[in-house]
Structure 1
Amino acid sequence: MSLDPALLDDLQWRGLIAHSTDLAGLREAFAAGSVRFYVGFDPTAPSLHMGNLLQILTARRLQLAGHTPYALVGGATGMIGDPKDSGERTLNSLDTVKDWVERVRRQIEPFLSFEGPNAATMVNNYDWTASLSVIDFLRDIGKHFPVNRMLARETVKRRLETGISYTEFSYVLLQSMDFLSLHRDHAVTLQFGGSDQWGNLTGGVELIRRADGATVHAFATPLVTRADGTKYGKTEGGALWLDPEMMSPYAFYQFWLNVEDEKVGELLRLFTFLPRAEIEELEAQHAEKPFLRVGQKTLAEQVTTLVHGAEETERIKQASAALFGGGDLTGLSPSTLGAALGEAGVTTVDAGEALPALVDLLVATGLAKSKGEARRTIAEGGAYLNNARIEDPEAVASKDDLIGGSWLVLRRGKKSFAGVEVR
């Protein structure tokens, strides 16, 4: 595969390089031949999330430009976990971590090519860590880490006030050893990760310099935040999981569809493979007519397709249109409809001889505050059952109205809808 000479310029334009050890040296390395690089993922949960997705897509960009990826799943480091500001992590069992390693591997694999001259390689740091003795670890790795440098790391300094275990304090040694092992065994010369990993990234670069006298590279991608500066990350709540069992593809799509106007251009750059000219055109359209949400729609479609596939994305788009009156609800699968309604809120009723009156259901779902308000909404033509206008204030849903045998969709006006699951 030929090398893309514009790779570094594209990474910089997209805002993917927040920190770097030597950009000029990295540019020379990219130009000289296929660079072997690695990015690591600790299995501290059963699924990867939005922050991990940024790293996976960055690895894909480098591979498409002709460079050679090593995707590391941390079977060893995942048993400890990188220190976090909020306190000590709960240590997971070996069996749990092994299961999560396999889950994470399966999530990464579709994004990379494992064939061709710059084929990707999956590695697990448990393979070179499990058999290492404590004495060898301290002599060969620990001697290269001045404690004063370790204490100066921002996360460590913050944690010293509340306490940090030696286990988490030593995490940087393990991650740095990964870079050293991959450098020695596979000639890997570049590592990247999130900007919150910068201390670990530079720790690996420094370890290789001290232990082998070699020069290697590292860069960090930015921390992606909401417009108000708060994190999207999994430790802050509201996690954007990649596993469809942990976050439905519909909810995933809706997240991207509803990002703030201020974030659209940034996220298009970071999370899509659209070319610069197309992104700049989308930004111009968005700036002129933000109410059309053309940027958000493109972002949601592009990222959801990357993660969940084109067919699932099309089903989600059809569901979104149908829920707001723009399509046939009966053509949706019960699973897609259920996931979509779950985001809006679902009211459950038990199937009896007859279903409740629609007025009662409008109140039960919160679409109306009272029966009187529900009746007025119906009289004004603003209430819908399965996208059909409700004409009679005394109407009662029948079992023939159930979509997929169990769902009713109620809507008030153009934008407010809710689901009723009949059991």
Structure 2
Amino acid sequence: QLFHVDEEVGQGLILWTPRGAIVRQQLQDFISHHLHRQGYHQVFTPHIGKLDLYRTSGHFPYYQDSQYPPLVERDLMKKLADEGCSCSELSNMMSTGDIEGYMLKPMNCPHHVKIYASQARSYRDLPLRLAEFGTVYRWEQSGEISGLTRVRGFTQDDAHLFVTEDQIADEVMGCIELVQTIFDVLGMHDYRVRVGLRDPNGDKYVGESERWDQAEEACRSAAAKLGVNWSEEEGEAAFYGPKIDFVVKDVIGREWQLGTVQVDYNLPERFDLWYKGSDGENHRPVMIHRAPFGSMERFCGVLIEHFAGKFPTWLSPTQVHILTISEKHKQYASEVAQQLIDQGVRVQIDDGDDTIGKKIRTHRKMRPAYLMILGDGEMNNNCVSLRSRTGDQVADVPLGQFIEDIKQEIENKVTEPSLVPVRKEN
């Protein structure tokens, strides 16, 4: 079990179990490594913000139907109630800004904008890449909530890049290459690229038309350089700018929008962001929104389907399950487990009284990368016997060799466990 949903906690609010938390943390560590390599800076922001922040960004009142209701300070709420203020009047006052409130954040970007704006910036500071695994909240209708893929609280592997006009093309390509790296490592090769543009007849978009034209052309240009099939789709843009989406097809043919890269000329304008150029004048930066996983919840949900629960060794919640044949092998099992743990391998021991056959049947259901069988021969010769998920087996593997081999398999993020030879068909 990787996650749990409890009615007392609330629909669409995920409780990650210890096993699920391992999968999620491994994915976070994986992308964090690449973020560090690409020069990103980690930040942390609160889960709420003042309504004024979201009025400036345009998230409120835009899309307020998909947001949790605003929070009003207790004393003010009591005062308005005593004055006979109705719910509709309260809502109108919040929408117009006559009273202040707070909101569970629906997006991380306004908070990152404020970090950028917290000090003067020079062209020498750009590109500035801010990254956060930030949790956001959306009021999804109860009939639309589904497992991990459609939830009310989710964590985005979010980043916002503040760049000059001349840096857009290179930075968008850097974002796209990161998404492709993730998909390649996870063996997710069946995907298409969608360039989301404005709906010509839509009225939800904010910002100047000329800026939109520039942003849409930047996305088209980047998509054309990918070397994969891509398409333009009107009406798929965010309200603040066009975007490039990676749409992945799962094992049963369903499509999921996962990674996304968005060019945004609008928010820097709305928040009056600037940097000092080489000419000594103030210039407006361009903002790029980027989330390779989309959200940790949806990405993990798609991965579960993609791997049918049989994760690669590096992602498996437990990588080796050690099964003893009898009680006299307990000590050796403990010693083997400790050596593996010391090398960062996740293990589980079953040294109970069940028969080895029953132990194998029980632990196969948990789908570790390897089952390790320990009996007299293994104990006497300091070796191990292994069983793969397919039922293939190999005996008398020196313990030291196995430890080195599984360390390499984890480090290289091999898609399929490979330390047990596949049985050849006659």
| Normalised TM-score (structure 2) | 0.26
Q: Point out the structure with the larger strand share.
A: 2
